[in-house]
Amino acid sequence: MTVAVIPPRSGVAFPLRTGEVLRVIDPEGGQVSDMLAFMAADVGEALSNGRTFDYEETIRLTAGNRLWSNRSQPMLEIVEDRAGTHDFLLTPCSEATFRHFYPDKPVHRGCFGNLAEALAPFGIGPDAIPVAFNIFMNVPVDGDGKLRVIAPATRAGDFIRLRALADLVVGLTACSAYDSCGGAFKPIHYAIERQAPGVES
């Protein structure tokens, strides 16, 4: 298994084929990785938090849950989850969110800008970027619906594994925002496991 590094505050995009397993690792602990997925055959079909909440009947996705597209097709299944806490409510950080939440800090293009650049060669424009599956992100929601973004609870080496249920284009970042990472900018590691699907779960 070859592990690739996403440097702090950057992002990548790559194909992930049916049956392959994407492992996303938090090498130091306390970091977030925004993940997007699009159908390789037609990038107009993309990850949808709303369809996923509909079919999985929960906003807390973990091992055994699937992530669904806007056209009601399952795209990825979480086959192993050593972290346990992820977010699927919030959009990728962007220049606008930096201006809003960190008015005294330098503006950064954020995960949104990093994803837009990485996905452009696949014909995916910025307006096609939906809510991301924010791996390791810690967003508690209280009984009144109020939410907070706090530091991830991950320890060094925690990971999640997701099996592709279709041929996909995946976007993946090492998050750029202060709050979601507890103020520290760290790398993210990932690997694509290409063994036969039956071996993987």
> Which residues of this protein are in contact with a second copy, per CB under 8 A?
44-45, 48-51, 53-55, 57-60, 70-72, 89-91, 94, 96-97, 100, 127, 129-131, 141, 143-148
Residue 62 to residues 44, 58, 66, 134, 173, Cα–Cα distance (Å): 26, 10, 9, 12, 19
30 Cβ neighbours under 8 A, 6+ residues apart: 151, 152, 154, 181, 182, 184, 186
CB of 37 closer than 8 Å to CB of 163: no
What is the residue-wise DSSP string for 85-109?
--B-SSPPP-HHHHHHH-TTS----
Closest to a second copy by CB, 45 vs 81, is: 45
Nearest CA to 174 out of 37, 22, 27 is that of: 27
Residue entry with tokens 């005294």: 104
Burial per residue of 59-72, b for 16 or more beta-carbon CB atoms within 10 angstroms, e otherwise: eebeeebbbbbeee
Shortest distance (Å) from residue 117 CB to a second copy: 17
